[in-house]
C-alpha cells in the first residue's frame, strides 16, 4: 500500500534497534527521509548503512544523543529542525514494586522516557505549529493501561504519556498537527528474549527453550517489531488524517483478557 509519505522527513528516537529501527525501515520504504537518534553512534551508523542499501532514494541520517539530557534534546532540535513526523520511542522503564525501584532508578528512567518524550514534543510541536502541519507519534506501552503493582514506575510513566498524547491530540488539530500514540504489549525484542531466557532457565533448566515461555500469550507469541512499526507508519500517513488524540493498543487483546498470563 502506498501511504503517500514519499518526500517527507521523520525523526525516530531509540532508532538503533527494536521497534524504533523497524519504524525507520518502514518509513524509509515508503520514501521518507529518516534521522535515527540513539545513544550509540557506532550502532546507529551500522544500522543506517544497512538501511541505505535497502531503501534507495531516501536520505538516512544519524545523530547520537542521550535524550535524558535537556541540552541534548535542544541540540537534536537545532541539528534537525524541520521534520514532518516525530516518533518518540527512546527509553525503557524497569520493573519492580514501589519498594524495589529506588528513586535514582525511577528518575533516570523517567528522565529518558517520560521527560524525553515531553521535551522533544515541546520542541517539535512548536515548529510544527508554526508550519501548521506535522505528526507526533508516541510509542508508549500497554503498561499504562493494565496497571501493575509490579511495574509501578512504568505504569505511572506510561499512563502520564497516554494523558499527554490525548490532551495534546485533542487540541493540536486547531493548528494543523496530529498527536497519536501506540501502546505495544509484549514485543519480540532483544530485551524480551533475555527475560524469556531467564524464565526458561528457571522453569525448564534450559535457557534455549525461551520461546516456550511465551506459549500463554495471545496467538502463542509476542508481537513482532514490524507489527508495531506498520501501525506507526499508517498513523503517520494522510490515510489517518482525521486521527488525533487516539492511542492504538497492539497486544493481541491481552489487556482485556479475563485471565492474564
Q: Distance between CA atoms of 3 and 30, rounded to whole angstroms?
A: 7
Q: Distance between CA atoms of 212 and 200, rounded to whole angstroms?
A: 8
Strand positions, DSSP E, 19-167: 33-38, 60-64, 85-88, 134-139
Could you tell me whether strands 85-88 and 9-13 are parallel, antiparallel, or unpaired per DSSP bridges? parallel
- By the 8 A CB rule, do 106 and 153 touch? yes
Q: Distance between CA atoms of 144 and 136, rounded to whole angstroms?
A: 19
Query: Hey, what's the cell of 35?
Result: 534521522
Kindly list the catalytic residues: 151
Q: How many CB atoms within 10 Å of residue 161?
A: 25
Query: Hey, what's the cell of 184?
Result: 505495544
Amino acid at each position: 500500500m502506498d501511504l503517500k509519505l514519499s518526500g517527507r522527513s521523520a525523526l525516530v528516537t531509540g532508532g538503533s534497534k527494536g521497534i524504533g529501527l523497524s519504524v525507520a525501515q518502514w518509513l524509509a520504504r515508503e520514501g521518507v527521509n529518516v534521522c535515527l537518534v540513539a545513544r550509540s553512534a557506532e550502532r546507529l551508523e551500522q544500522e543506517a548503512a544497512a538501511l541505505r542499501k535497502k531503501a534507495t532514494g531516501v536520505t538516512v541520517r544519524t545523530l547520537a544523543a542521550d535524550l535524558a539530557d535537556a541540552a541534548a534534546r535542544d541540540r537534536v532540535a537545532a541539528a534537525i529542525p524541520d521534520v514532518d513526523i516525530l516518533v518518540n520511542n527512546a527509553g525503557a522503564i524497569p520493573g519492580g514494586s514501589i519498594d524495589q525501584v529506588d528513586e535514582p532508578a525511577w528518575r533516570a528512567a523517567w528522565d529518558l522516557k517520560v521527560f524525553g518524550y515531553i521535551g522533544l514534543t515541546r520542541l517539535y510541536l512548536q515548529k510544527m505549529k508554526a508550519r501548521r502541519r506535522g505528526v507526533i507519534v508516541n510509542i508508549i506501552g500497554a503498561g499504562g493501561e493494565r496497571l501493575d503493582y509490579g511495574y509501578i514506575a512504568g505504569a505511572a510513566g506510561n499512563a502520564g504519556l497516554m494523558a499527554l498524547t490525548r490532551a495534546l491530540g485533542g487540541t493540536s488539530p486547531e493548528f494543523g498537527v496530529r498527536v497519536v500514540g501506540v501502546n505495544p504489549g509484549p514485543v519480540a525484542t532483544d530485551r524480551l528474549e533475555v527475560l524469556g531466557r531467564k524464565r526458561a532457565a528457571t522453569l525448564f533448566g534450559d535457557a534455549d527453550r525461551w520461546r516456550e515461555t511465551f506459549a500463554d500469550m495471545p496467538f502463542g507469541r509476542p508481537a513482532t517489531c514490524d507489527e508495531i512499526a506498520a501501525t506507526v507508519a499508517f498513523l503517520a500517513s494522510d490515510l489517518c488524517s482525521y486521527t488525533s488524540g487516539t492511542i492504538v493498543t497492539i497486544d493481541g487483546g491481552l489487556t482485556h483478557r479475563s485471565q492474564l498470563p
